[in-house]
Amino acid sequence: MNRVAIVSGAAQGLGLAFAQRLVDEGYSVLGMDVNSDVESIAGITGVVADVSKRADVERVVEQAAEMGTIHVVVNNAGTWQKTPVESSWEQTLIDLDFITETNIKGVMLLSRAAVPHLKKSGGHIINLSSYYVLPAKSDGTNPPDTDLYNASKWALNGFTDAWAKSLEKDNVCVNGMCMGAVDTPMLRGLFPNNELPASLASQVMSPEAIAQQMMDIINSGRTGENFGAWVGEDIQLGAVPPLHKRITG
């Protein structure tokens, strides 16, 4: 059986690391991104597509199904920006669409389009969230000027929890990945000249380490959990938590 994985936001950063790790594991990978660089990544089938557009998502899933049996969907595509609560109504509504179209609607569209295929394979959905939704271990969690981004990641808890419960009978596993600072273009873009401060650069997690955690989650067969990864700590799955702590810790 030719196992196929779909990775959204695969042109760079974590998405690229996920795609390459899945290729190493023998998957045929379809990477989708609004960035045309995705078409030139060696070893994967790169497709320019927008997860917030139903027609694009259906085209991607159809193409992936032609490559083999869809076994993994990684909802990695995401957007981030500051959204101060004092913003004007006009700007707030623009920001709301910008954040939620990808972070919420895109996750829903790609996952639901793939579910009929995943039911046949007993596959996996991985939702990329944030350590913001887990108990804080340091200052700076849930900063006040990113309310829409934060809300979008909390919304993923609803998807992960409900889908895991609904699809468990079909042997489909649904989990969230909730990491702290990872060395990605998105993180570097927050700093002048895309240079990480020395104090952060010495501790930040690597995309490859997070991609290994993704494979550990897939191989574990666990479902309905948010798996954390924190700067300065070993990246591991840990013991299965009680049911009421699997999503928010």
The residues annotated with a catalytic role in the active site are 149, 153
Task: Work out the widest C-alpha separation in the chain, in whole angstroms.
Answer: 54
**What is the C-alpha to C-alpha distance for residues 212 and 221, in angstroms, rounded to an integer?**
15
What's the CA gap between 169 and 240, in Å, rounded? 19
Work out the number of other CB atoms within 10 angstroms of the CB of residue 203: 11
C-alpha dihedral (200, 245, 75, 204), degrees to nearest 10: 10
Give the other-Cβ count within 10 Å of 222's Cβ: 16
Short-list 6, 185, 207, CA closest to 80:
185
Q: How far apart are CA 64 and CA 96, in angstroms?
A: 30
- Centre a 10 Å sphere on the Cβ of residue 237 and count the other Cβ atoms it contains: 16
Cβ proximity of 152 and 100 under 8 Å: yes
The C-alpha atoms of residue 157 and residue 103 are separated, in whole angstroms, by 12
Measure the CA–CA gap between 77 and 31, rounded to whole angstroms: 11
Q: Which alpha helices (DSSP H) does 122-167 contain, by range?
A: 147-167
Helix (H/G/I), strand (E/B), else coil: 132: helix
